[in-house]
Amino acid sequence: MSNENSLKMIDKIMSDFISELGYSVADEMFLHVSSGKKLRSKLLLSIAGDSDNSLKICAIIELIHLASLLHDDVIDDADTRRGKPSINALFGTKDAVMLGDILYSKAFYELSKIGTQISSIISDAVVKLSIGELMDVRLGESFNDDSKKYMQMIYYKTAILIEATARCGAILAGYDENKFGLYGKNLGLAFQIIDDVLDITQDSIKLGKPSLNDYKEGKTTLPYIHLYENLNKDDKEILRSYHLKELDDNQKAWIKQKFTEFKSIEISIQNAKNLGKEAIEAISEYENEKLKEIIVSMIDREF
């Protein structure tokens, strides 16, 4: 089965899962959920290949991921998701939360039919993912200058489910679970760091939102933490004063000029590249070119 056909099959399995619930309202709402690029599915299939079992596990993981995004959009008051109206924009926040609950619940029901080893890995990841969401909200309430707190938060919020996916793929393929777990963890961490960098470097047309939007929403991402560590006392206070504020063009220009001066963007990208290199080294004995390509395509972006 080609990669494209596999991804279409995963979409069908997810759709069937929701149809099995027998509630047309849920079916209608689910039609408006954008299924995205399926990074996690591509990862699992690149490790374990196509089988009924691997495709079903992909569909379960994608349902969990989509549920987390539905809740994310409610928390962030997001009107769009992947260039389309968000579920909360279309149907309201209550319906978006409840649809997320339905996706989570159905995913766990289907997960309960699979062996305990894989079920426990994914279940544990979802608990930590939820904690990561709470960490993200709490960290956004004030300026965070602690890179360890940031890394822990993105590990739970973004990387943990990617790590779990890689571990499950390794189990299905009979490979070393820990080595593939490290690959998945580093892939997830690097992915989030790059995503945070793009919020700063891309223009509003490419982003679909204003640049530096993360900082306005309270997210003190790695480039800001690096910059803060290197600023003098007065400039530290200026950067802090911009946190959670709607910035004018001059204020945005000041931040971007400081990023350039202290190479905070380049250093953050290098951190992501180092994580990617370590990920590839962890599974080097398996000589899997697809997994190398996933890392390269995710890090080597237009900044």
Q: How confident is the model over 26-54, as pLDDT tens digits?
A: 999 999 998 788 999 999 999 999 999 99
| Per-residue pLDDT at 203 | 72
Locate 133 and state its tokens. 């969401």
The Cα–Cα gap between 80 and 90 comes to: 10
Q: For the residues 146-169, what does the mean pLDDT come to?
A: 98
pLDDT in tens, 59-81: 999 999 999 999 999 998 888 88
- For tokens 């390269």, name the residue: 296
Burial class (CB in 10 A: 0-12, 13-18, 19+), 35: middle
User: Nearest 5°: phi and psi at 90?
Assistant: -80, -40
CATH superfamily name and code, 117-303: Farnesyl Diphosphate Synthase (1.10.600.10)
CB 209 within 8 A of CB 197: no
Q: In sequence order, what DSSP letters do the residues of 127-144 get, joined into one string?
A: HHHHHHHHHHHHHTTS--
Per-residue confidence at 216, pLDDT binned at 50, 70, 90?
A: very high
pLDDT of residue 7 exceeding 90: yes
pLDDT of residue 208 exceeding 70: no
CATH entry, 1-114, from 3.30.9.10, 1.10.240.10, 3.30.413.10, 1.10.600.10: 1.10.600.10
User: What SS3 state is found at 287?
Assistant: coil
Taking the alpha carbons at both ends of the chain, their separation in whole angstroms is: 34
**What is the identity of the amino acid at 196?**
D
Same fold yes or no, 1-114 and 117-303: yes
Q: What is the pTM of this model?
A: 0.94
Which residue ranges make up each domain of the chain? 1-114, 117-303
Locate 23 and state its tokens. 């509630």
CB 291 within 8 A of CB 280: yes
Average pLDDT, rounded, for the chain: 94
CB 272 within 8 A of CB 193: yes
| Per-residue pLDDT at 209 | 62
Give the chain's length: 303
* pLDDT > 90: percent of the chain: 86
**What is the identity of the amino acid at 36?**
G
